[in-house]
């Protein structure tokens, strides 16, 4: 249902993954986008090694945070994140690059996993793994189904439907076997015998590569999908791969599916087989005016300014710098923002493309309704949001909105539909949360 077809612009698809040098200081955010921020377990003056625990998960929906560099903790303070608000972060002054001895740094691929399901989930939880597709939902929560629900199939998200981004694509090309080992570990963790890796048809090399490798693994198949945005959304991907629809307000588990990103599968491989917690990720640095595009392995907490400097600086005609893809990414207010677990890339949009056009009246063309992948009526929700009609918005299922931006993209009157819908969604979820608290 719905969806749009923006141009791919996968400019960095053929650039292999490179390392980012270490800056003099990193700021590792303790808060994720989703869930409670973790609690710092180090204090100023402590000496830390790479991979050492610095933030303890605080509650069920929260994840551990590990040091991504070795050095001395300078302070624990607020640091601006992609939203422009401060989140508690651990500032570490880098000294050398000394890893914990327990981390296996050898490049050999370890295929056998002797741990049982419970131990795997525990290991994932300890390693602070969150969904690396962008939503950063703690992975161990997804792998612990609520009582009465049983997973039947594991779906691996290699769709990367956002234009420009190529980090998952490169990872599939370069770390294909590791990803597949990660997938089989995941299958063991949730007790399923079938896994489907969904990849869009614009990454034919990755499909062929993983298809060839998957022959050696039981129950893993690769499915080529037609190119469409937002197919990488959890519910959209379930529909595309196994043809089941998640009910409104429900979870993928309601239809027996668990969805994980390929980058998450790779992180799980590293955590379980190599004992390496999540402290680095692949990010794409790209943009039409960039001299050098690229995919980089960056430690969490490196300021984006440092990464960008290494790539050759900000292009002169840049109008907007976006963390993430052009559809769902966030425009940055400054480049001091650190690489977080959910940062999939940095995109430089030239000024002539980034300017917002003047908003005009709604002409009731229903393009937004056709484009909405969740079957909502964006034009209506926007009007309701303008008029603060929260009750009506809730009954019109605003909370189903995945904020993919198809409505704003398709609107011929340049109406900022998503801005208003997101505002309404924030208010409605506040009301719903308050109601839940009152009930308990």
Partner 1 sequence: MNIIILSILTLVLVGAVAAIILYLASRKFRIFEDPRVGEVEAALPAVNCGGCGFPGCHGFAVACVEAESLEHLVCTVGGLPTQEKVAQILGKKANTFELTVAVVRCGGACEVRPRTNQYDGVSSCAIAHNLYGGDTGCSWGCLGLGDCEVACKFDALHIDPATLLPVVVETKCTSCNACVKSCPRSILELRKRGPKNRRICVNCVNKDEGAVIREACSTACIGCGKCADVCAFDAITLTNNLAYINPDKCTLCRRCAPVCPTNAIVELNFPDKKTINVLI
Binding site for partner 1 (CB under 8 A): 78, 80, 83-86, 330-331, 333-334, 355-356, 416, 419-420, 422-423, 426
Q: How far is the CB of 428 from partner 1 (least distance, A)?
A: 12
HSE value, Cβ hemisphere, 13 Å, CA-based, for 296: 25
Residues sharing a CB contact under 8 Å with residue 268, sequence separation 6 or more, in sequence order: 124, 129, 139, 182, 185, 186, 260
CB-nearer residue toward partner 1: 14 or 333 = 333
Q: How far is the CB of 415 from partner 1 (least distance, A)?
A: 10
Residues sharing a CB contact under 8 Å with residue 399, sequence separation 6 or more, in sequence order: 249, 425, 428, 429, 432
CB-nearer residue toward partner 1: 196 or 417 = 417
Q: How far is the CB of 426 from partner 1 (least distance, A)?
A: 5
HSE value, Cβ hemisphere, 13 Å, CA-based, for 211: 11
CB-nearer residue toward partner 1: 56 or 427 = 427
CA 403/CA 219 separation, integer angstroms:
33
CB-nearer residue toward partner 1: 85 or 93 = 85
Residues sharing a CB contact under 8 Å with residue 79, sequence separation 6 or more, in sequence order: 27, 29, 86, 87, 88, 89, 91, 336, 338
Q: How far is the CB of 325 from partner 1 (least distance, A)?
A: 17
Q: Is 403 helix (H, G, I), strand (E, B) or coil?
A: coil
Prior bond to 230 cis, omega within 30?
yes
CB-nearer residue toward partner 1: 287 or 424 = 424
- Phi and psi of 285, rounded to 5°? -115, 115
Q: How far is the CB of 307 from partner 1 (least distance, A)?
A: 19
CB-nearer residue toward partner 1: 15 or 25 = 25
CB-nearer residue toward partner 1: 286 or 408 = 408
Residues sharing a CB contact under 8 Å with residue 227, sequence separation 6 or more, in sequence order: 5, 8, 161, 200, 201, 202
CA 333/CA 81 separation, integer angstroms:
9
CA 150/CA 152 separation, integer angstroms:
6
Q: How far is the CB of 305 from partner 1 (least distance, A)?
A: 14
CB-nearer residue toward partner 1: 268 or 421 = 421
CA 328 to chain centroid:
10
Could you tell me which of 174, 157, 229 has the C-alpha nearest to residue 9? 229
CB-nearer residue toward partner 1: 366 or 426 = 426
Q: How far is the CB of 361 from partner 1 (least distance, A)?
A: 15
Q: How far is the CB of 75 from partner 1 (least distance, A)?
A: 11
CB-nearer residue toward partner 1: 79 or 170 = 79
Q: How far is the CB of 227 from partner 1 (least distance, A)?
A: 29
Could you tell me which of 237, 229, 210 has the C-alpha nearest to residue 221? 210
Q: How far is the CB of 322 from partner 1 (least distance, A)?
A: 12
Which DSSP string do the residues of 281-322 spell out, in sequence order?
Answer: EEEEEEETT-SS-EEEEEETT-BHHHHHHHHT---TTEEEEE
Retrieve residue 392's tokens. 């009506």
User: 237 near 252, Cβ under 8 Å?
Assistant: no
Q: What does the DSSP 8-state code read for residue 389? A: -
């Amino acid at each position: 249902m719905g969806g749009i077809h923006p141009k791919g612009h996968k400019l960095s698809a053929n650039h292999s993954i490179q390392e980012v040098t270490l800056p003099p200081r990193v700021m590792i955010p303790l808060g994720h986008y989703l869930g409670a921020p973790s609690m710092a377990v180090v204090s100023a003056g402590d000496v830390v090694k790479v991979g050492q625990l610095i933030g303890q998960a605080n509650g069920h929906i929260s994840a551990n945070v590990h040091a991504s560099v070795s050095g001395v903790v300078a302070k624990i303070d607020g640091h601006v994140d992609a939203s422009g608000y401060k989140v508690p972060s651990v500032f570490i002054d880098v000294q050398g690059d000394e890893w914990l001895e327990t981390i296996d740094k050898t490049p050999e691929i370890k295929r056998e996993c002797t741990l049982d399901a419970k131990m795997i989930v525990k290991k994932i939880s300890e390693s602070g793994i969150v969904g690396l597709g962008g939503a950063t939902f703690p992975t161990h929560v997804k792998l612990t189904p609520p009582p009465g629900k049983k997973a039947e199939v594991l779906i691996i998200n290699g769709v990367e439907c956002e234009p420009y981004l190529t980090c998952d694509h490169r990872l599939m090309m370069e770390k294909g076997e590791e990803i597949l080992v990660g997938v089989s570990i995941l299958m063991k963790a949730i007790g399923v015998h079938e896994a489907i890796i969904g990849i869009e048809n614009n990454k034919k090399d990755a499909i062929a590569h993983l298809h060839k490798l998957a022959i050696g693994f039981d129950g893993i198949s690769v499915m080529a999908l037609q190119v469409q945005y937002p197919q990488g959304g959890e519910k959209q991907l379930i529909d595309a791969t196994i043809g089941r629809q998640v009910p409104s307000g429900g979870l993928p588990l309601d239809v027996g599916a668990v969805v994980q990103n390929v980058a998450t599968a790779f992180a799980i491989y590293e955590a379980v087989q190599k004992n390496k917690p999540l402290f680095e990720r692949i990010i794409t640095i790209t943009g039409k005016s960039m001299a050098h595009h690229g995919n980089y392995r960056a430690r969490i907490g490196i300021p984006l300014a440092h990464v960008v400097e290494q790539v050759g600086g900000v292009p002169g005609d840049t109008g907007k710098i976006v963390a993430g893809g052009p559809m769902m990414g966030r425009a940055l207010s400054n480049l001091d923002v650190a690489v977080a677990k959910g940062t999939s890339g940095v995109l430089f949009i030239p000024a002539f493309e980034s300017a917002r056009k003047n908003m005009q009246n709604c002409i009731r063309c229903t393009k937004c309704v056709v484009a909405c992948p969740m079957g909502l009526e964006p034009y209506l929700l926007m009007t309701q949001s303008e008029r603060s009609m929260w009750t009506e918005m809730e009954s019109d299922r605003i909370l189903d909105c995945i904020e993919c931006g198809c409505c704003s993209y398709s609107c011929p009157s340049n109406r900022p539909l998503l801005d208003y819908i997101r505002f309404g969604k924030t208010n409605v979820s506040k009301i719903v949360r308050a109601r839940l608290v009152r009930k308990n």
